[in-house]
Structure formats: C-alpha cells, structure tokens
Amino acid sequence: MGLLEMKTAVITGGAQGIGLAIAKAFVTEGARVVIADLDGAAADAAAKDIGPDAAVGVACDVAKADDVRRVIETAVTSFGSLDVVVNNAGITRDATMRTMTEEQFDQVIAVHLKGCWNGTRLAALRMREQKSGAIVNISSLSGKVGMAGQTNYSAAKAGIVGLTKAAAKELAHHGVRVNAIQPGLIRTAMTEAMPQTAWDQKMAEIPMGRAGEPSEVASVALFYASELSSYMTGTVAEVTGGRFM
C-alpha cells in the first residue's frame, strides 16, 4: 500500500517543474491526481505521460475562483473524492520597487496569494464535510527573508505563510490539516535561465553546496499529504539546503 493509496490530489501549476514532480511522487504512492495549469495543453500532456487511469489535466487560472472550483469538481467526478490539494501555481515579475509596475505587483499577488487562498478556501469547503484532508501551500524562502527585486513575490510568499497558519487554526477541528513548504534554490527551467552571476551568488549562500531538485520538494509535499504528518498543521518546512537558516 502506498502512502496515498486511493487518495485524490489536486496540484496547481502541475504541468512542469516542482508541481509535476509532486504529481509524479503522489501517483507513485497510489494517488490519483488532477493536474491544473494555466497551460491546459501542457496539463493534458503531463497527465497523459503519467497515465490516464491516474491523472487528468485541466486548464485553470488560480486567480479565478470559478476555475479552481471546476478543478475540484473534476477531481470528485473523475476519481470520487478530494483528499489533498497542493497550491503550487506561481509566476515571477521581478523588478526593483522603483521600476515595478502596479500591474506586475497585482499579477504576482493574484496568482500566488489569491490563488492559494482560492485553493485553500474551496478545498476546505469539501474537506470539512468529510472531516479529513490535507492542504499543502508552496511558499518560498523569499517569503522568509525577502529578496531584492521581488517585493511582489516576497510579499505574496510571506502572505502564504500567514494564510496557512490562519487556515490551519480554522480547520483543525474539522480534521483538515494545512501546512506550507518554503523551497530555496531548486533546479528548474526557470532558475537555470537566470544569469550565471546570480546563480553563483545564490549557490554561495547554501551550506550544502548545491541546488535542490524538484523531487526533493516533492518528497516533503508527500510527507505533508500523507498520514506520516498526521499531527502536524500550521507548520512551515524549509527545503533550502540550509540557506538562510
């Protein structure tokens, strides 16, 4: 029996990177997954790669409550339940505060913070009825220390921590757990596209001397989604190689 045998999970931003690694880890442990992504074609392709019996892809803009509601309904109609939600979808619109536009700020807050709120709130409506469920919110080390050029992203990721703790308090007596993960430098297409000087600077801050892999974030998400963490809620796990500990 896998850790998530016969459980159904929704993963936003699940078509690539960390989200896709989480989806694959969950399926390996017996879950059925709904991969929600702004790029519907990529979500479908990821689901087909994982397998039609275990995964479904759905186009979703997490900033729109109706889209998130539709994803949750897809999970229930396709697989019969909703047991885990991973709020992972995100974007970056980096710029110094002096040059950042209001639109760039609003876009990042909408996807990360409002998107996470939509996912947490709408999942909780169903989970509280069944008196069980696990919600995993993906924050970032940027939400702990703040990063220059990321006032929008750092604010949103810090907000996710506050949201997680508040929601955990509201939902604990309903049997629903809410936890967060703060990844550091993880090797993805997005991070590998950064200038070499920026990469080297970040690497110099990591005591373990290497970037993390998406699978290493996925294993922590699996822990939070499963009964291995049955007495944990409102916590934040740093997956950073010791950076800024």
Cβ 67 vs Cβ 89: under 8 Å:
no
Nearest of 243, 130, 107, 239 to residue 176 by alpha carbon: 130
The token pair that represents 206 in the structure block: 């990591």
**Active-site hit among 79, 105, 117, 153:** 153
CA nearest to 75, candidates 16, 133, 3, 21 = 133
Q: Do residues 142 and 160 touch, judged by C-beta distance below 8 A?
A: no
Sheet holding 32-37, edge to edge: 55-59, 32-37, 8-12, 84-87, 133-138, 176-183, 236-239
153 is catalytic: yes
Instruction: Note whether 211 and 183 are within 8 A (CB).
Output: no
DSSP per-residue letters across 181-213? EEE-SB-SHHHHTS-HHHHHHHHHT-TT-S-B-
User: Do residues 34 and 18 lie in contact, with contact meaning Cβ atoms separated by under 8 Å?
Assistant: no
Residue 81 · residue 53 · CB < 8 Å: no
Distance CA 168, CA 174 (A): 10
| Residue 135, token pair as written in the block | 């919600």
Cα 15 from Cα 39, distance rounded (Å) = 8
- Which residue numbers are catalytic? 153
